[in-house]
């Protein structure tokens, strides 16, 4: 990245970038400063990419939360933590550390006495976009289908 471009980034923008990437401002600055000036911006290492999303299924009752961290380039890999929140409290959590070009999708069926879910999530399409689909049954609320597509993409 050209030094003048780095110098033009405001402190608030640095802090926002650091929060989104899950890294410190100093780490982000160092990574950007290390990119050769003739390189494209896409040459920033993917290990800086970290995403957190919450998917409300039944507002105030049930939501999924996903945290994903990516490393690599052509041989990328992703660690994804999938959580289920019931009335704002975490009732299920599982970490998956083996997402890659070879294994892009996971199918799980978590449940408790209050809910049962059938969820497929992973990276789809040529741009490796993250998505989740399936259904969940919650006592007193019935069955809820969901399909979240293209939440974020790796390329």
* Residue 32 DSSP symbol: H
Q: What is the pLDDT of residue 11?
A: 84
User: 10 Å Cβ neighbour count for 69?
Assistant: 19
Cα–Cα distance between 71 and 73 in angstroms, integer? 7
Cα–Cα distances in angstroms (integers) from residue 103 to residues 49, 78, 89, 96, 112, in the given order:
19, 10, 30, 11, 27
Cα–Cα distance between 135 and 125 in angstroms, integer? 22
Cα–Cα distance between 101 and 84 in angstroms, integer? 26
38's enclosing H/E stretch is: none
16's enclosing H/E stretch is: helix 11-21
3's enclosing H/E stretch is: helix 3-7
Cα–Cα distance between 102 and 76 in angstroms, integer? 10
Q: What is the pLDDT of residue 4?
A: 55
Backbone angles phi, psi at 107, to 5 degrees: -120, 125
Cα–Cα distance between 26 and 24 in angstroms, integer? 5
Q: Tell me the pTM.
A: 0.63
Backbone angles phi, psi at 55, to 5 degrees: -115, 105
User: pLDDT tens digits for the chain (155 residues)?
Assistant: 345 556 767 788 777 666 765 677 787 677 666 544 443 433 334 444 788 888 888 888 888 999 988 876 777 888 899 999 888 889 899 998 888 888 889 999 998 888 899 999 998 888 888 899 999 988 888 898 999 888 888 77
Q: What is the pLDDT of residue 118?
A: 95
Residue 71 C-alpha from the chain's centroid = 12
């Amino acid at each position: 990245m050209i030094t003048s471009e780095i110098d033009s980034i405001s402190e608030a923008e640095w802090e926002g970038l650091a929060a989104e990437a899950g890294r410190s401002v100093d780490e982000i600055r160092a990574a950007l400063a290390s990119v050769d000036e003739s390189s494209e911006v896409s040459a920033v290492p993917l290990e800086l990419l970290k995403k957190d999303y919450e998917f409300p299924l039944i507002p105030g009752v049930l939501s999924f939360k996903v945290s994903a961290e990516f490393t690599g380039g052509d041989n990328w890999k992703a660690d994804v933590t999938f959580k289920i929140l019931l009335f704002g409290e975490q009732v299920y959590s599982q970490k998956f550390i083996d997402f890659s070009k070879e294994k892009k999708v996971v199918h799980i069926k978590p449940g408790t006495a209050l809910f049962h879910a059938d969820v497929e999530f992973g990276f789809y399409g040529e741009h490796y976009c993250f998505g989740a689909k399936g259904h969940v049954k919650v006592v007193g609320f019935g069955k809820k289908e969901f399909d979240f597509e293209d939440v974020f993409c790796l390329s």
